[in-house]
Amino acid sequence: MSLREKAAITGVGETTYLRGTDRTPLSFQLEASLNAIRDAGLKPTDIDGLIPYGHGAVAEDFITNFGIPDLRFSATTPMGGASCVAAIQAAMAAIAAGICKHVLISLGRTGYSGGRIGTRVQQMPQFRTIGEFEMPLGAIAPAQLYAPMARRHMEIYGTTSRQLAEVAVSTRYHASLQTNATMRTPFGIDDHQASRMISDPLRLLDCSLESDGGAAVVVSAPDVARDLAKRPILVMGVAEGHPDSPSAITQRPDLTTLGLAKAAPKAFAMAGVDRSAIDVAEVYDCFTYIVMCQLEDLGFCKKGEGGGFVENGALRLGGKMPVNTHGGLLSQAHMAGMNHIVELTRQLRGEAQAQVQDAEVGLVTGYGDMGDGAVAIMRRA
Amino acid sequence: MEYDKLVPSPTPDTQPYWTGLQENKLCLQACADCGKVRHYPRPVCDACYSMNAKWIDASGRGTVHSWTITHYAFHPGFKGDLPYILVTVDLAEGVRMNAQVRGIATDDLRVGLPVQVGFDKATDDLTLPVFEKA
């Protein structure tokens, strides 16, 4: 059985994104969830499946707060920034099996006001190996763990920091067109080059934000999706992929290939479309390099050609492949990629603030935990 | 002065690596049945699924695979080291490891640069590996 079009995104919701709050991740997660459920035209009690993100909330919180009478499915997909897109696959499998009809995928976090990333990763079980063997050497935060991937790409393929800057510049431009983005002042390649070095070759403007807020989506069975408030966005293809040596980038045979390289061919085959069909792409952007690498792993260009692919504003609205039209993790807010699913849905509905004209088919990726990947290809019904 | 950096919490599977460093030796885990060297240490050989492991003395020789130069302290204990170079090294035994460098300038870094492991006594209970020019 294929999961092709066995579910649709029927509701999306966000909170206001912030840098500074005294609220809890749970409170953000519940607010975003209520917004997504309302957007779909559903009641909270209609939700019969849950995939909450991370440690901010558990299924029990939703049953308690929403009065859900008959929760039939709950799961988590612990893949860091790939969790949200991987959750779409899990939700579809549950829906296609007839277990449930409306799965809520939700996220809330206080990345700005709570513990910062360098502290958070020390507590994650998937970072246990790194914690013993690399953190004592001073390799602690994702910027430091990922930088050698970018450096290797630069040394082998001639990729430049100015090419990485293209990703940051186009993403910020898209954020400048949004009402709900935390960083909206546009900048140019030279501004990127002047930003301070964090872990060479990654500069400050290569790095994503720390943010407070929440985002959520509702995934529904196609037969019930048709009768809801908004035009359903059908999931044509979905897959997750795990890299070789998932616990330690250091030991990965090819530092420049991510788990997404295994997922992408499966998702495109399931969807039955080629890369040329993609009108808009929301690509997980914890760092500029990770966007470029994923564009290669997705098959938009060959391995090593990502630097040339992103040049000359190719990723801007109106460019050859508009990417991260909401401003992404780099400039809108770090919502671990849930905001990317929200944005793709809005693009395909035709209700985005930086709308790609006549966007019919698009894709969204997740990336996390040192190389896990997930991708979903969607179309408007 | 108190050591304020992150310290490892070895397990019975990994302790010989750290004990080796304290004796200024780089020890790597290998399968006691098929001989495949593996790093980081773990319970099962992914070539033959044996759970029998042994420890070998590694040559400590390798070449640079990649690197990063860190300019921001993600942990307060590393503030005094900034900027510091972390290299990822292909060891002669076929596995990789990373470590800070000693006596290698930023301009000298290149893929394939030959390096040799050295030992940095951090505390009475902890010795960390470093890489020096071979």
Could you report the per-residue pLDDT of B37-86, keeping only the tens digit for each? Answer: 999 999 999 999 999 999 999 999 999 999 999 999 999 999 999 999 99
Answer whether B66 sits within 8 Å of A132, measured CB to CB.
Answer: no
Q: How far is A17 from chain B (nearest CA, A)?
A: 24
Please name the residue of chain B whose CA is at the shortest distance from the CA of residue A256: B66
Q: By CB neighbour count within 10 A (0-12 exposed, 13-18 middle, 19+ buried), where does B107 fall? A: exposed
The pLDDT of residue A33: 98
Q: Are B133 and B115 in contact (CB under 8 A)?
A: yes
Tell me which residues of chain A have a pLDDT lower than 50.
none
State the smallest CA–CA distance between residue B124 and chain A in angstroms: 15
DSSP-assigned beta bridge partners for residue B117: B131
Question: What's the structural domain count of chain A?
Answer: 1
Domain assignment of residue A178, yes or no: no
Domain containing A43 — which CATH number?
3.40.47.10
Chain B CB contacts of A202 below 8 Å: 68
- Residue A107 pLDDT: 97
Q: What was the pLDDT predicted at A122?
A: 74
User: Per residue, what are the HEC states of A255-268?
Assistant: CCCCCHHHHHHHHH
Facing B88 at nearest CB: one of A129, A148, A201: A148
Chain A residues with beta carbon closer than 8 angstroms to that of B105: none
Q: How many CB atoms lie within 10 A of CB B105?
A: 9
Q: Tell me if A246 is assigned to some domain.
A: yes
Kindly state the average pLDDT of the residues B105-129: 97
Q: β-strands B53-57, B84-91: how paired?
A: unpaired
**Given a cut of 80, is residue B18 above it in pLDDT?**
yes
Residue ranges making up the domain that contains A103: 8-114+213-380
In a domain, A202, yes or no: no
In a domain, A143, yes or no: no
ipTM for the complex shown: 0.97
What pLDDT is stored for residue A233 in this prediction? 98
Could you state, in order of their start, the residue ranges of all structural domains in chain B?
15-133
Q: Pick the closest to residue B119 from B25, B17, B18, B5 (CA basis).
A: B25
Architecture per CATH, B15-133: Beta Barrel (2.40)
Are A199 and B72 in contact by the 8 Å Cβ rule? The answer is: yes
